[in-house]
Amino acid sequence: MGATRIIAVRHGETAWNVDTRIQGQLDIGLNAHGLWQAQRVGLALADETIDHIYSSDLSRAHSTAQAIAQHALQPTARSVRLHTGLRERGFGTFEGQTWAAIAEQWPEESRRWKTRDPHFAPPGGETPTQLLARVSRTVNEIAAQHLGEHIVLVAHGGVMDMLYRMATQQELHAPRTWELGNAAINRLLWTPDALTLVGWADTRHLDATALDESST
């Protein structure tokens, strides 16, 4: 049976990440550190044979994907394919708000969000159940087109969380014990029967000296 190797990467840092402000599907760009992280992950993957790169159409993910494509060996991976199915969870009225402001203004909604109620959505947003269905559908659609190939998916923290849960059969309400770091490298294997975890949260390339030629 054929398989698709997947590298899943969360976008680089944004100013709103630093401020603990909910971005959701608002189009927030990378900050200076996020641009640096994007280049680092691009360099870290430069020696790998990557056939295709897919990205959320939100600029923080697209910019990160472009940095990876810039260093790609395969001509087919030098252009990024945008897919709205890789967008962050829609957070409706929470978007643009800090975690502290949400807790103050909407205490009951904040409680349901923080306890991972699978059926809770902020007004105008998505539930975790809806997000899981969207991410599953998107990954299955993309990966099925690339059996035997190696692809990169650049997306968001909520998408990374769903990929981990899918690959490890974690329930949506289960407490998160895994990292969702900006520009971390996560590896999965997709077959028509299952999504399997290969490696998670590799951030060695973000060590300031990890890719510094002068240190070798």
What does the pLDDT profile of the chain (216 residues) look like in tens digits? 699 999 999 999 999 999 999 999 999 999 999 999 999 999 999 999 999 999 999 999 999 999 999 999 999 999 999 999 999 999 999 999 999 999 999 999 999 999 999 999 999 999 999 999 999 999 999 999 999 999 999 999 999 999 999 999 999 999 999 999 999 999 999 999 999 999 999 999 999 665 554 333
- How far apart, in whole angstroms, are the C-alpha atoms of residue 62 and residue 44? 17
The token pair at 157 is 């923290």
Residue 24 in domain: yes
Per-residue pLDDT of 177-200, as tens digits, reads 999 999 999 999 999 999 999 999
- How far apart, in whole angstroms, are the C-alpha atoms of residue 146 and residue 4? 6
Q: Which entry of 11, 52, 62, 205 is annotated as an active-site residue?
A: 11
Residue 204 in domain: no
The domain that holds 30 is classified in CATH as 3.40.50.1240
Active site residue 149: no
Domain that holds residue 62: 4-190
Residue 209 in domain: no
Residue 64 in domain: yes
Q: Which entry of 13, 88, 95, 149 is annotated as an active-site residue?
A: 88
Active site residue 88: yes
Residue 205 in domain: no
**What's the total number of domains in the chain?**
1
Count CB-CB contacts under 10 A for residue 15. Answer: 15
DSSP 8-state code for residue 57: S
Read off the pTM. Answer: 0.94
Residue 134 in domain: yes
Residue 151 in domain: yes
CA angle 27, 16, 9 (to 5 degrees): 70
Residue 158 in domain: yes
